[in-house]
Structure 1
Amino acid sequence: MRPIYTHLLAFTIVLLLASCGEQNEKKEIVEEVKVEKPFTEDWKSLGEHKESPEWFKDSKLGIYFHWGVYSVPAYSNEWYPRWMHFKDHKVYKHHLEKYGHPSEFGYHDFIPMFKAEKFNAEEWAALFHDSGAKFSGPVAEHHDGFAMWDSDITPWNVMDMGPKRDVTGEIEKAIRAKGMKLITAFHHAKNLQRATKLGEDVKISHFPNFEGMPTTSDDPKLQMLYGNMEHEKWYKEMWLGKLKEVIDKYNPDIVWFDYVLGDIPEKYRKEFAAYYLNAAAEKGKEVVIVRKQHDLPLNMSVEDLEQARKNVIGTKTWMTDATISKGSWCYTDNLGVKKSKDVLHTLIDIVSKNGVLLLNVSPKADGTIPDDQKEGLLKMGNWLKKYGEAIYGTEAWYTFGEGPTKEPDGHFENHKAFLELEYSNKDVRYTTKDYEIYAIVMGAVSPEKELLLKSFAKKNILDAPSIENVSFLGSKEKIKWSYSEEEGLRVKAPSTQVDNMATVIKITISQ
């Protein structure tokens, strides 16, 4: 009889174990269903996101690039795809003479010419890293509807056409290998054709609804490029769908938006933000959303000022996007480039006011970055290698600076005034970190020149610091200095010139 009981007991145990296993599986499934994502699609929930994590505040400099099909004609600017359709515009006349009528040679006909045969992601990443950037990445899609990544949503992408390479994928791997974070910039809110009548142009749309042009084609494939689609379908599948795809494939640390974002229905903006923030939370990442106008709340996004900047200290971290060039954001045959010291001074001014600079470079269609742009980047990078402690990880002091040069008010509408600004060694900008205050003179300081930093005078500062030491970064000489409550901090420069781009005075205060 004992063997029978033994078999019955064993069978019962097997049943119990199987039942427990089944219950555990069910429990696991139930638990999976019960897991809640931290962010829901409402502004209150999204506002709980830390819009400016410490890594972003400390980064100070990022580099991105306007590079795409619009780089092929290399004429006027990156808005070539739009202006080639307007008879009274110089781009139309240029296009007509060089390529033919836009009804016969459309923007899409440039795509086979965009070969990027010399593009080397590792070389680009090394350049950006050596320039001092802490994050970098592409304009993932401009207004033109062409995706600079391997897309399953649209056939108009770099993997299926043109270069037949995953540009975003290659650059993502290369910059992460250099210890930088990834930014992907999106301008595609403007791609949708919002005109409802043939022959009509709506300015917030990139492509006009002109008769006989590829932009008004009834070919479903061309409609995906030119944004000539039913609006709701485009919002969901193209605008939102592309964002989700890039988030899923490349895990960007920053998603940056150009203007016209406010014309995307609010429900889709909320859906994007929740999707992105939840994806980041799942990976344990702190990410950043940057917007240009009042189209996302500032408690969950960072403010960006195009080709402009604040003339006061920002109470929150903010950003300027600016070009290394003097004109177009994309490469053109006659593109002028700013002096490296002017770009550096822009960075210093921005950092002194709690800002971050996103600097644009303009590669050629073949994938090379012109030498004059490289030179400007590397000169700035060399300065940052020597004096970066006055930039990275700092914050604004009680005042951003002193001197005669003042920034104008406003945003992009005053960008020409900002471009004309030129600082001199009479201008000083301040940053601070721990028990150090950095006074950055915007230029060279003559040997043994006496400087008076008036911001330290008692009338200008509520709580005058107790100064322990003053030194010039890049010099080993012991510096002569004196402090007067009435005048401020008086400093005598070293016997030899330290730097000709910008000079950093380090003031150490007591703890």
Structure 2
Amino acid sequence: MKVSYLKILVFLFLISLGSCVQKEEKNETVTIKEETKDSYEKDWASLGKHNEDPDWFKDAKLGIYFHWGIYSVPAFHDEWYPRYMHLENHRVYKHHVEKYGHPSEFGYHDFVPMFKAEKFDPEKWATLFKKAGAKFAGPVAEHHDGFAMWDSEITPWNAMDKGPKRDVTGELKKAFTSKGMKFITAFHHARNLQRNTELNGTNWLSHYPYMEGMPPTSKDSTLAYLYGNIPAEKWHKEIWLGKLKEVIDNYQPDIIWFDFVLDAIPENYRKEFAAYYLNEAEKLDKEVVIVRKQHDLPLSMSVMDLEQSRKNVIGTKAWMTDATISNGSWSYKEDLGVKSSTDVLHMLIDIVSKNGVLLLNVSPMANGIIPENQEKCLLEMGAWLEKYGEAIYGTEAWYTFGEGPTKEPEGHFGNHKAFHKIKYSNKDIRYTTKDYNIYGIIMGETVPNKEILLTAFAKKNIKDNVRIESVSILGSDEKIEWSIDTKEGLKVKLPSKVVDNMATVIKIETSA
């Protein structure tokens, strides 16, 4: 059959057109890929472009997290029970032997089926934390013990497959965000890797001692995922990093917080985590925060945390204190004492006056109940914040954080006992500011009709003279008498009745 020359030309033209379309499609694909290229690369210079303390975080001031896991079952000593139960000279070991048997026969993993969380109600927790004034909340997603409090495909030791058999993190995320709170997940799992190289080793960087005949030395491949007895390179990549990516993918936390020993994780994996988290957040158009406790992440892309301590000067950028509501253990134990609501509130006020944020820990029981004394403390603090929160939320430090006799010591966790001893009085005042308002917060119950002097307003002290328009006491309807003395400061006569016995807020309205 003969084919006309015209038909051949048409056929060749269509082939050529199809080829062009394919090339255009390929070029378009390449262009799209270039447009969606990750913003953050795995190097500190690139990661440093991240806004490490977004406004929502700086304005939040208060978050709540909780140490709740397998270690809540024995409810003895503290959350380090899984380490101490292997050390013969420790009282936890003696307690364990007496109550459960020798740790070679009853290991930490044997507590897992006992962690049933049968009364865990995430909606009730969310309501409580909201009433307490928290703007973000979330779990210790994994402590040093290797048990994941989420539905994990990486480790069999997770809350969905064992223990409660519930996706604890997923349920909490839903409950907290439904109340308008941001979501935080805390990670302590850098210590879980078995770093002891010899039998009977007790390397502090490893949570579990490597004792002969004990479960952490077991060759059982399943137990290895709990006790961290996995080759280091595999553990760093698949376990430490893998778990972080899993939580990021499944729960999209607004804050990821790290405990110490993060510096024992190879730098390349720390960079990979940060790049992954920031890039995933950008896809969701979220501003996220990374908090670290040691010098293991640059402050150009992370926020500093001070455990059980705080700054004694104003921070030039946002920082955080993590402190527990209790007087001892971070996790629940049967004789756990709790700080007064006044002491917790004063700690928050002092932190906020220096541009800080408080991450407050609570300690639920193994069954999921938050003890009444902790709940009472939270609600009393929340009631104060409900009335006077304008002096806290969305504020920033004034030129001075405060005045009065009580001073905070230097140091980090190593000096935490000194911080525990601090008690403020009505002679201590802390300042915050928002817009053209300055708030002077008196730390304690005031004396009716007493005149107080705010020396921060004295001409020799103040950096930028302010024009005061009015002075009032939040919560009082009385007209407040006041006067300014350039040499001494601002004199304020307090109301005839005590407004609040926890802290009293003086609101100073100024004009430009």
Q: What is the TM-score normalised by the length of structure 1?
A: 0.97
| Match runs of 1:292-371 below 5 Å | 292-371=293-372
Letter in 1 for 2:295: H
> CA 1:20–1:130 in structure 2 vs 1: closer, same or farther (change >3 Å)?
farther
| Match runs of 1:225-240 below 5 Å | 225-240=226-241
State the alpha-carbon separation in 1 of the partners of residues 301 and 456 from structure 2. 34
The answer to whether structure 1 residue 471 and structure 2 residue 468 are counterparts is no
State the alpha-carbon separation in 2 of the partners of residues 176 and 400 from structure 1. 32
State the alpha-carbon separation in 1 of the partners of residues 33 and 74 from structure 2. 52
User: Contact 2:325–2:344 (CA<8 Å) still a contact in 1?
Assistant: yes
State the partner residue of 1:30: 30
TM-superposition CA deviations, 1:212-256 (whole Å, max 9, x none): 000000111111110111111111111111001000000000000
SS at match of 1:211: coil
State the partner residue of 2:277: 276
TM-superposition CA deviations, 1:146-202 (whole Å, max 9, x none): 000000000000000000000000000111101110100000000111111111110
State the partner residue of 2:213: 212
The answer to whether structure 1 residue 196 and structure 2 residue 191 are counterparts is no
State the partner residue of 2:122: 121
State the partner residue of 1:417: 418
State the alpha-carbon separation in 2 of the partners of residues 334 and 372 from structure 1. 12
Letter in 2 for 1:370: P
- For structure 1, the 5+ residue unaligned runs are none
TM-superposition CA deviations, 1:99-154 (whole Å, max 9, x none): 00000000000000000011111111111111100000000000000000000000
| Match runs of 1:378-389 below 5 Å | 378-389=379-390
Q: What value does the CA root-mean-square deviation take over the aligned residues?
A: 1.8
State the alpha-carbon separation in 1 of the partners of residues 217 and 463 from structure 2. 64
State the alpha-carbon separation in 2 of the partners of residues 226 and 102 from structure 1. 14
User: Contact 2:144–2:188 (CA<8 Å) still a contact in 1?
Assistant: yes
State the alpha-carbon separation in 2 of the partners of residues 12 and 254 from structure 1. 59
- For structure 2, the 5+ residue unaligned runs are none
> CA 1:212–1:48 in structure 2 vs 1: closer, same or farther (change >3 Å)?
same
Letter in 2 for 1:222: L
State the partner residue of 1:408: 409
SS at match of 1:220: coil
Letter in 1 for 2:363: S
> CA 1:335–1:7 in structure 2 vs 1: closer, same or farther (change >3 Å)?
farther
Letter in 2 for 1:29: T
State the partner residue of 2:105: 104
Letter in 2 for 1:243: L
State the alpha-carbon separation in 2 of the partners of residues 122 and 20 from structure 1. 58
Q: Percent identity?
A: 69
State the alpha-carbon separation in 2 of the partners of residues 476 and 21 from structure 1. 76
SS at match of 1:437: strand
State the alpha-carbon separation in 2 of the partners of residues 96 and 47 from structure 1. 50
State the alpha-carbon separation in 1 of the partners of residues 247 and 331 from structure 2. 22
How far 1:19 sits from its partner (Å)? Answer: 5.8
The answer to whether structure 1 residue 493 and structure 2 residue 494 are counterparts is yes
State the partner residue of 1:155: 156
Letter in 2 for 1:205: S
TM-superposition CA deviations, 1:30-49 (whole Å, max 9, x none): 22432321110111111111
State the partner residue of 2:46: 45
Count of residue correspondences: 508
> CA 1:181–1:12 in structure 2 vs 1: closer, same or farther (change >3 Å)?
farther
State the partner residue of 1:263: 264
> CA 1:113–1:49 in structure 2 vs 1: closer, same or farther (change >3 Å)?
same
The answer to whether structure 1 residue 58 and structure 2 residue 62 are counterparts is no
State the alpha-carbon separation in 1 of the partners of residues 142 and 12 from structure 2. 63
SS at match of 1:319: strand
SS at match of 1:271: helix
The answer to whether structure 1 residue 77 and structure 2 residue 78 are counterparts is yes
Letter in 2 for 1:112: P
How far 1:497 sits from its partner (Å)? Answer: 1.2
User: Contact 2:66–2:139 (CA<8 Å) still a contact in 1?
Assistant: yes
State the alpha-carbon separation in 1 of the partners of residues 171 and 505 from structure 2. 37
TM-superposition CA deviations, 1:413-462 (whole Å, max 9, x none): 11111111111111000000110000000011122111110111111113
State the alpha-carbon separation in 1 of the partners of residues 37 and 311 from structure 2. 40
State the partner residue of 2:400: 399
Letter in 2 for 1:273: A
State the alpha-carbon separation in 2 of the partners of residues 16 and 123 from structure 1. 67
SS at match of 2:351: helix
State the alpha-carbon separation in 1 of the partners of residues 160 and 394 from structure 2. 38
Letter in 1 for 2:245: K
User: Contact 2:399–2:463 (CA<8 Å) still a contact in 1?
Assistant: no
TM-superposition CA deviations, 1:55-106 (whole Å, max 9, x none): 0000000000000000000000000000000000000000000000000000
State the alpha-carbon separation in 1 of the partners of residues 367 and 200 from structure 2. 35
State the alpha-carbon separation in 2 of the partners of residues 105 and 32 from structure 1. 57
State the partner residue of 2:461: 460
SS at match of 1:44: helix
Query: Which stretch of the first structure deviates more once superposed, 222-231 or 456-465?
Result: 456-465
User: Contact 2:187–2:258 (CA<8 Å) still a contact in 1?
Assistant: yes
State the alpha-carbon separation in 1 of the partners of residues 181 and 259 from structure 2. 22
> CA 1:10–1:115 in structure 2 vs 1: closer, same or farther (change >3 Å)?
farther
> CA 1:223–1:477 in structure 2 vs 1: closer, same or farther (change >3 Å)?
same
Letter in 1 for 2:272: E
State the partner residue of 1:173: 174
How far 1:28 sits from its partner (Å)? Answer: 3.7
State the alpha-carbon separation in 2 of the partners of residues 384 and 81 from structure 1. 38
Letter in 2 for 1:255: I
State the alpha-carbon separation in 1 of the partners of residues 85 and 109 from structure 2. 12
State the alpha-carbon separation in 1 of the partners of residues 9 and 510 from structure 2. 80
SS at match of 1:249: helix
SS at match of 2:222: helix
How far 1:29 sits from its partner (Å)? Answer: 2.3
> CA 1:496–1:20 in structure 2 vs 1: closer, same or farther (change >3 Å)?
farther
State the alpha-carbon separation in 2 of the partners of residues 7 and 503 from structure 1. 93
State the alpha-carbon separation in 2 of the partners of residues 415 and 110 from structure 1. 31
State the alpha-carbon separation in 2 of the partners of residues 411 and 173 from structure 1. 34
User: Contact 2:149–2:159 (CA<8 Å) still a contact in 1?
Assistant: yes
